[in-house]
Amino acid sequence: MFFQKKKRLLAKPDFDNLPQHIGFIMDGNGRWAKRRGLPRSAGHRAGAKTFRDMVRYCKDIGIKNMTVYAFSTENWKRPKEEVEAIMDLLRSYLKDAFDHREEEVRCLILGDTAPLAPDIVALIKKLEDESRDCKQMTLNIALNYGGRAEITHAVRELAGQVQRGELAPGEITEDTISAHLYTAGQPDPDLIIRPSGEYRTSNFLLWQSAYSELVFMDVLWPDFTRRDLDRAILEYQNRDRRFGGV
C-alpha cells in the first residue's frame, strides 16, 4: 500500500513564494458601523482606509495582481444615501491616486461604467491612462461588477464576432472566453479572501476563480489588518493545490 506524502506545513508565510493574484471581497463595512452606533457611511470610510493599506502592503511584499470587490451590480439596491457615500469615497480615491504615481501601481476598473456619473467615468479614464505603464502591481477595482454580467458581456462579444464571420463557433475555447473578460491578460486569482464571516463569493470573478483557494475569515473588513492577510497567505501556502490532479 502506498501512502501520499503529507505536505510539510509552514509556521509563517513564505514571502518568497507568494500568490501572483489575490482577490478581496471587502465585506462587513455596514455591520462594523452598526455595532458602533454609526451610520453605514462611516463603515465605508473605515473600509476605504483598510483598502488603501492593503494596496500598499500587497505592493510592498511583492503581490503582482490584486482585485478588490468595491461595488457589485446588486449594490444599487442599497439605500440611496449609502450608494452616494460609496461613490463619494470612490471619487476621493480616484483623485488621490493621481498623487501616488511613485508607487508604480497600474489601476484598472472591472465592470460596466456606463451607469456611473460622468465625472467618475472621466476620473477612471484619466487614472487608467496615466497608470498604464506602471509595473510594480496591477490593481483591479471591480465596480458595478458582477461575475455573471462579465461572462454575459464576453459571450455577446464572441457572438458578434461569429455573426460577422470573424470567428467560427468551433474556434471558441476557454482561452478565447478568457481573452474577452475584464481581466484579459492577467493570471487568474490564486487566492480569494472574504472577511466578515460570510461563506460565499457573491458573484465575484466566477470564471476566473475556478481553481482559486478561498479563505473566509471572521473579521469585518474595516478591522482587517496586515496580520490577517499574512494569516490568509499562510493558509493558502499550507494547502495542497492539485488542479484536478493527484
Integer Cα distance of 238 and 7 in angstroms: 8
Q: For residues 96-134, b (16+ Cβ closer than 10 Å) or e, as one string?
A: ebeeeeebebbbbbbbbeeebeeebeebbeebeeebeeb
Integer Cα distance of 23 and 35 in angstroms: 26
Residue 28 marked as a ligand binder:
yes
Integer Cα distance of 184 and 207 in angstroms: 12
Q: Which of 14, 16, 17, 27 is catalytic?
A: 27
Residue 27 marked as a ligand binder:
yes
Residue 21 marked as a ligand binder:
no
The set of cell numbers assigned to 206 is 466566477
Residue 132 marked as a ligand binder:
no
* Residues in Cβ contact with 193 at an 8 Å cutoff, skipping those fewer than 6 apart: 22, 23, 24, 25, 215, 216, 217, 229, 232
Residue 201 marked as a ligand binder:
yes
Examine the residue annotation and report whether 27 is marked as an active-site residue of this protein: yes
Q: Which of 53, 75, 88, 230 is catalytic?
A: 75
Residue 103 marked as a ligand binder:
no
Residue 31 marked as a ligand binder:
yes
Examine the residue annotation and report whether 75 is marked as an active-site residue of this protein: yes
Residue 73 marked as a ligand binder:
yes
Residues noted as catalytic: 27, 75
Binding site membership: which residues? 27-32, 40, 44, 72-74, 76, 78, 194, 200-202, 213
Binding-site residues for substrate, in ranges, read: 28-32, 40, 44, 72-74, 76, 78, 194, 200-202
The annotated binding site for Mg(2+) is made up of: 27, 213
